[in-house]
Structure 1
Amino acid sequence: MNARIPCEFFLVRYVPDPIRGEFVNIGVLLREAGRPESATVRFTRDWSRVRCIDPEADTEMLEALEGELRQRLTEEGQPVMKTMAESFSQMVQVTTAKPSLAESMVAEMELLLRLHVENRKRESAARKSGRMMIHGRMRSEFERAGVWELMRKRIPVSSYTRAGDPLKIDCGYRPNGVIKVFHAVAPDTDTELAKVLAFSMEGLTKGFAEKEGAALDFAAIVQPLTALAGDPDREEQYRFSLETMESKGIRVLTTERLPLIAETARRELRV
């Protein structure tokens, strides 16, 4: 049995009104004990709990804050707490360090997010098969392969289609003359997203060719059909979504293939 890694973690909290003291956990900063340079941070991708206590919350700012903090944590000579104090406004606070023992840093981060941020211990089966679960698994596999930090995230479609297009692609990278992008889709519960992606493909393909001189390889990441447990209605929606996306040239790949996809990215990015 492998020895566990002594770690410590900090919870990142959104506090819209410090006087009232209401807060919601939005992220986790994790590091190996005694190794500040090992620190890594993850924020939630589901801002519904934030909007419950602050309907006007600037979630784009919070998402940008995660990227800024991750960047600064990689800079030499930046103590963790000093970096966090300088990066965060008063609306975002950090708890004191708490100890943990990890099988691996990636697995521990996922566990801490589930327990303290996403609060997913009692999710229904339908929720677990949703887009956020698929996105989290996709990200975890790319992190295990060591390529997540090298990929582009939340790629704005408006850069390639037209101003005002709100869609943002989850992640992607360019290994050569092809740009590979990946987007999590729950085909049994979100046929509208499948239709939006299919509708966008023609403009995206043209936009990437014109602006980046590259072909577009678009992959939708979905859960396998077997995850629906024989629900006829959900299976029908699932098949409709897949057929809609595939008819416009979107590759549909299941989460079971994510380890291979991540390994391919590792080789192509020469990590």
Structure 2
Amino acid sequence: MRVPYEYAVIQAVPRIERGELINVGVLLYSQRHDFLAARTHLDESRLLCLDPGADVAAIRSALDSWETTCTGGGASAGMKLGERFRWLVAPRSTVLRAGPVHMGLAADPAAELERLVGLLVR
């Protein structure tokens, strides 16, 4: 049975003043499936086209922290899945941010996350 989920595309904006961005991951939350996960993929060459001086290692490390937050590591320890999702999608002015939240229906949120990453990021 397909149930609702929410997702947001994770975007890298290496030079915030220019507003240029690339999609670097997807964050997916399904309350009914008790599921929250992020999958990321950083295309280094695309990032460096936007900003040749971008700190790729720092951006990769920050992307890893999105996945850690989903699993309850670090500052998100003790937070419920929905709280973690809302925290990650909250507006921010940093190199990494979440795009608008969208809705969908899926029977398997993990498979849907992989499909969305392939469609929107890779």
Q: Same fold judged by TM-score > 0.5?
A: yes
From 92, 109, 119, the equivalent of 1:115 is 119
Partner of 2:86 in structure 1?
81
Describe the SS at the equivalent of 1:57: coil
Q: Deviations over 1:16-74 (max 9, x none)?
A: 22232111111110010467x62111110432221221222222222212222222232
Task: Tell me whether 1:14 sits opposite 2:19 in the alignment.
Answer: no
Where does the alignment leave 5 or more consecutive residues of structure 1 unmatched? 119-271
Which structure has the bigger radius of gyration?
1
SS at match of 1:100: strand
1:25 aligns with 2:23: yes
2:51 maps to a residue whose letter is D
Q: Report the residue type matching 2:109 in the other structure.
A: M
After superposition, the Cα gap between the structure-2 partners of 1:8 and 1:83, relative to the gap in structure 1 and judged at 3 Å, is: closer
Stretches of structure 2 lacking an aligned partner (at least 5 in a row): none
Alignment RMSD: 2.5
1:98 and 2:102 aligned:
yes
Indicate if the aligned counterparts of 1:43 and 1:63 stay in contact, CA closer than 8 A: no
> Normalized against structure 1, the TM-score is what?
0.37
Q: Which has the higher contact order (CA 8 A, sep 6+)?
A: 2
Distance in 2 of aligned mates of 1:34 and 1:18: 36
Q: Do the aligned partners of residues 61 and 70 (structure 1) sit closer, same or farther apart at CA in structure 2, a change above 3 Å counting?
A: same
Q: CA deviation at 1:106?
A: 2.1
| One-letter amino acid of the counterpart of residue 44, structure 1 | H
Is contact 2:16-2:93 (8 Å) kept?
Answer: no
**Residues in 2 aligned to 1:82 and 1:45: alpha-carbon distance in whole angstroms:** 22
Contact 2:6 2:29 survives alignment (8 Å): yes
Identity %: 28
* Matched pairs, number: 114
Report SS of the residue matched to 1:8: strand
Question: What SS does structure 1 have at the residue aligned with 2:11?
Answer: strand
Is the contact made by 2:10 and 2:27 (CA closer than 8 Å) also made in structure 1?
yes
Query: Structure 2 matches for 1:86-235, cutoff 5 A?
Result: 90-118=94-122
1:83 Cα deviation from its structure 2 partner: 4.4
Q: Which has the higher helix share?
A: 1
